[in-house]
């Protein structure tokens, strides 16, 4: 089969660092933390005091107010980031793009949890008649993809991948394959999440996955010996994936090329990664093979790097097993040190960071890296961004349930 080459022609973001790509990327390059005090919920109820909230986000800046009220926050994020990406790519569906040849694939780990909690409270207090008729379409995880399709007019493949914290990366990989095999010319792909809710905070706190460090500046500290859990974040990341043929025909701006996708299962445990990161290592190998690149061709790895004990240890071990001696030459960083962990959106915003790292020639730092861990001993680009020529990047995303995803991006030649 003659595989289509697939390039990135547009990007969009809502993150704790900013409500667009430029503000977010400036924060990443500047090593700025987007994490602050928990304000979206009553912090007195929880041992968690900090979060990566999308500050000053107003859906009315992107969507009609009446329509926005029919969307959960996770869908609002996806719509906002998608509209930025579509505009960035210069796409006008029905004019310069055939509606039936453009699709949407946006993942979410938990969907409309905020809506679910609010409507359940209403049901308990006032009965079923007071539950919103929009409850179901607001809550279901595929509605971000559905709403983006409706608002942009994209009539091609429309799907949503739900694989916990690998959802955004899986969605990009799956959308990449749709174009590669010729089933679409363009895909609006990524991930979105709005998990800062009472039950989500309670559940993650109860399983001791979150950092209980009350200092917003230092709570997220991937690969640092004193890491004590992840910081919950919210937002969305969207890429416009396009066949090279279509991009050239449209004279589109090309950020870079997506060349590899690997996905595996740990078949080990519902939350803990397989020892030694065995499943993650296989995903990296599959992605490199799919891309036709050798480990030594990769200059930078955007790590899953959650700031939890086992993830950072096992991901480091997995990188060593795949890259051998080159593991000590490749730069590895976790942008979650600045954004927190956006769960189902994490892999998508990190894919955007990977593309911009190549385009701008910048290695994003891991901030809050103060105390090295003897077993976690790679070059984590501590505390300051680094300028360097980058030809190829690997981005990792790992999810509860044992989902492992790796994506490979290259400089467009």
Query: Could you please report the per-residue DSSP string of 226-294?
Result: T---B-BB-EEEEEEEEEHHHHHHHT----EEEEEEEEEE--S-SSSPPGGGHHHHHHHHHHHHHHT--
> At 2, is the pLDDT very low, low, confident or very high (cuts 50, 70, 90)?
confident
Helix (H, G, I), strand (E, B) or coil at 361: coil
Cα distance between residue 105 and residue 340, in whole Å: 23
Listed in order, the ranges of the chain carrying CATH 3.40.47.10 are 7-250, 261-399
Q: What is the pLDDT of residues 27-50, one digit of tens each?
A: 999 999 999 999 999 999 999 999
> At 343, is the pLDDT very low, low, confident or very high (cuts 50, 70, 90)?
very high
- Enzyme catalytic residues: 165
Asked if 257 contacts 8 with a C-beta cutoff of 8 angstroms, the reply is yes
For the structural domain made of 261-399, what CATH number should be given? Answer: 3.40.47.10
Q: What is the pLDDT of residues 259-290, one digit of tens each?
A: 999 999 999 999 999 999 999 999 999 999 99
The Cβ of residue 195 has, within 10 Å, a number of other Cβ atoms equal to 26
Asked if 184 contacts 178 with a C-beta cutoff of 8 angstroms, the reply is yes
CA atoms within 13 A on the CB side of 19: 15
**φ, ψ for residue 341 (rounded to 5)?**
-105, 110
Cα(first)–Cα(last) distance of the chain, in Å? 22
The pLDDT value given to residue 146? 98
Q: Which residues contact 71 (CB under 8 A, 6 or more apart)?
A: 59, 63, 79, 138, 143, 147
* CATH classification (class only), 7-250: alpha beta
CA-angle at 286, arms to 282 and 291, nearest 5°: 150
> At 302, is the pLDDT very low, low, confident or very high (cuts 50, 70, 90)?
very high
CA-angle at 151, arms to 34 and 75, nearest 5°: 35
Cα distance between residue 29 and residue 357, in whole Å: 9
| Nearest Cα residue to 15 out of 176, 246, 221, 192 | 192
């Amino acid at each position: 089969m003659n595989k289509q080459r697939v390039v990135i022609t547009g990007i969009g973001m809502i993150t704790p660092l900013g409500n667009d790509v430029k503000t977010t990327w400036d924060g990443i390059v500047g090593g700025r933390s987007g994490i602050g005090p928990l304000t979206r919920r009553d912090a007195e109820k929880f041992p968690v005091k900090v979060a990566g909230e999308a500050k000053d986000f107003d859906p009315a800046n992107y969507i009609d107010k009446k329509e926005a009220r029919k969307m959960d926050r996770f869908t609002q994020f996806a719509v906002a980031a998608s509209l930025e990406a579509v505009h960035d790519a210069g796409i006008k569906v029905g004019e310069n793009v055939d509606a039936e040849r453009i699709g949407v694939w946006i993942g979410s780990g938990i969907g409309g949890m905020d809506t679910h909690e609010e409507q359940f409270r209403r049901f308990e207090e006032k009965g079923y008649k007071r539950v919103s008729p929009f409850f179901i379409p607001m809550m279901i995880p595929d509605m971000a993809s559905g709403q983006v399709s409706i608002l942009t007019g994209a009539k091609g493949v429309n799907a949503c991948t739900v694989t916990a914290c690998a959802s955004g990366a899986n969605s990009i990989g799956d959308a990449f394959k749709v174009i590669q095999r010729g089933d679409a010319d363009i895909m609006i792909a990524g991930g979105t999440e709005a998990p800062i809710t009472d039950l989500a905070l309670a559940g993650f706190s109860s399983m001791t996955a979150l950092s209980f460090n009350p200092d917003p500046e230092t709570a997220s500290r991937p690969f640092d010996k004193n890491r004590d859990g992840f910081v919950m974040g919210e937002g969305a990341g969207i890429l416009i994936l396009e066949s090279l043929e279509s991009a050239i025909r449209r004279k589109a701006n090309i950020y870079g090329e997506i060349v590899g996708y690997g996905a595996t299962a740990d078949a080990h445990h519902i939350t803990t990664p397989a020892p030694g990161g065995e499943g993650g290592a296989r995903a990296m190998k599959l992605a490199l093979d799919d891309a036709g690149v050798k480990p030594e061709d990769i200059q930078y790895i955007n790590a899953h790097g959650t700031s939890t004990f086992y993830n950072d240890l096992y991901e480091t071990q997995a990188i060593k097993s795949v890259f051998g001696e080159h593991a000590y030459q490749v730069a590895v960083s976790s942008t979650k040190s600045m954004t927190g962990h956006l769960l189902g959106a994490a892999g998508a915003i990190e894919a955007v960071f990977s593309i911009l790292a190549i385009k701008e020639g910048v290695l994003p730092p891991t901030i809050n890296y103060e105390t090295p861990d003897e077993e976690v001993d790679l070059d984590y680009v501590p505390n300051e961004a680094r300028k360097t020529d980058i030809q190829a990047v690997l981005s990792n995303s790992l999810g509860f349930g044992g989902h492992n995803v790796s994506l490979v991006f290259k400089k467009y030649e």
